[in-house]
Amino acid sequence: MPRYFFHLDNHPDLPDHEGTVVADLAAARTEALHYAGEIIAYADPTLVMRTEPFCVRVTDENGNEVIKLEIHDKAAPGTRS
């Protein structure tokens, strides 16, 4: 089974050096959504939702970006409506 790496970008950058073994790309997508949801649910909102997007970036074992989740907060200070 392939190993995917789930990186948190911008808040601050938190690279995933260990990765997670999952069945396939669809399972990696599900894992990325769960990861983003957990961070949003439990993190300090001022650290997660700022003017730049909150981003979970998933790479494969070769370092290729295969998934990128960007969450934008339109109500964050300094953003446009």
Long-range Cβ pairs for the range 34-42 (8 Å, 24+): 35/6, 36/69, 36/71, 39/8, 40/71
Number of structural domains the chain divides into: 1
Give SS3 for 46: helix
Q: Return the higher-pLDDT residue of 45 and 54.
A: 54
Question: Is there a domain that residue 78 lies in?
Answer: no
pTM of the model: 0.82
Domain that holds residue 60: 3-71
Q: What percent of the chain lies above the pLDDT cut of 90?
A: 53
Question: Is there a domain that residue 77 lies in?
Answer: no
What would the mean pLDDT of 23-30 be, rounded to a whole number?
98
Question: Is there a domain that residue 81 lies in?
Answer: no
